[in-house]
């Protein structure tokens, strides 16, 4: 099983390391021909407008959209969540996304870089999953949150406490998973292992 990490911008190395520790082959993806050789994809945190512009420049926007439509499992963290959203609030007018998850995401919802923070996230029960019924200590860096989800989207996690308590920060729709936080920065592999389980089930 090969899982690619979109390697245009952001914390690519950290995701590659977390996937390797989750016992799968992980490789960076920068070209459409590389995308064709993987079973699943991770879209890392970073700067969503930069990832959007580079995906267009590198000819990856439409191929990734097609693979998503064909059922390829994809996980997006932070900027990756924005890139998977059907609707993005506070984004640039020319910003493109991969249009995977039926949700409205507010970009930089928690504030600017200086407002980055850590908080516990309560994860709903996920039958048989590595994150089932867990509480995760999460890192939020210029993070988005989910304002609204469609009927086919399951809310997996919310911020547990503080001024952002109750905000939706983890969702799943079919083979697509997204978090507003960065599990690749904490050494906690439960989200990555949950995604690997999704890929194996696929």
pLDDT of residue 58: 96
- Give the separation between CA 169 and CA 89, rounded to whole angstroms: 15
182 in active site = yes
Q: What is the pTM of this model?
A: 0.91
> From the candidates 15, 96, 182, 192, which is the catalytic residue?
182
Q: Please enumerate in sequence order all residues whose Cβ is within 8 A of that of 46, keeping only pairs 6 or more positions apart, or say none.
A: 9, 10, 11, 78, 79
Query: What are the pLDDT tens digits along the chain (202 aa)?
Result: 899 999 999 999 999 999 999 999 999 999 999 999 999 999 999 899 999 999 999 999 999 999 999 999 999 999 999 999 999 998 777 788 999 999 999 987 766 555 567 888 887 755 545 565 567 888 888 889 999 999 999 999 988 876 778 889 999 999 999 999 999 988 889 899 999 999 999 8
CB 94 within 8 A of CB 126: no
Q: H/E/C letters for each residue in the chain?
A: CEEEEECCCCCHHHHHHHHHHCCCEEEEECCHHHHCCCCEEEECCCCHHHHHHHHHHCCCHHHHHHHHHCCCCEEEECHHHHHHEEEEECCCCCCCCCCCEEEEEECCCCCCHHHCEEEEEEECCCCCCCCCCCEEEEEECCCCEEEEECCCCEEEEEECCCCCCCCEEEEEECCEEEECCCHHHCCCCHHHHHHHHHHHHC
184 in active site = yes
pLDDT of residue 114: 52
> From the candidates 78, 147, 151, 197, which is the catalytic residue?
78
pLDDT of residue 113: 55
CA atoms within a 13 Å half-sphere pointing along the CA-CB vector of 164: 26
CB 38 within 8 A of CB 19: no
- Choose which CATH entry (3.10.20.740, 3.40.50.880, 3.40.50.300, 3.50.50.60) describes domain 2-201: 3.40.50.880
Q: How large is the C-alpha radius of gyration of the chain? A: 15
Going from N- to C-terminal start, the domains of the chain cover: 2-201
């Amino acid at each position: 099983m090969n899982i690619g990490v979109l390697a245009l911008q952001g914390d690519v190395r950290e995701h590659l390391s977390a996937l390797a520790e989750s016992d799968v082959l992980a490789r960076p993806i920068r070209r459409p021909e590389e995308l064709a050789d993987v079973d699943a994809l991770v879209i890392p945190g970073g700067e969503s407008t930069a990832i959007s512009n580079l995906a267009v420049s590198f000819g990856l926007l439409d191929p990734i959209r097609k693979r998503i439509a064909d059922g390829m499992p994809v996980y997006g963290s932070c900027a990756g969540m924005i890139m998977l959203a059907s609707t993005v609030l506070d984004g640039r007018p020319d910003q493109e996304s991969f249009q995977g998850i039926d949700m409205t995401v507010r970009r930089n919802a928690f504030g600017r870089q200086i407002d980055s923070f850590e908080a516990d996230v309560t994860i709903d029960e996920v039958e048989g999953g590595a994150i089932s019924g867990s509480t995760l200590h999460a890192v939020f860096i210029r993070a988005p949150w989910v304002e609204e989800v469609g009927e086919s989207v399951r809310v997996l996690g919310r911020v547990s406490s503080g001024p952002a308590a109750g905000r939706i920060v983890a969702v799943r729709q079919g083979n697509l998973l997204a978090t507003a936080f960065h599990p690749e920065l904490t050494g906690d592999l439960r989200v990555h292992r949950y995604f690997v389980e999704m890929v194996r089930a696929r």
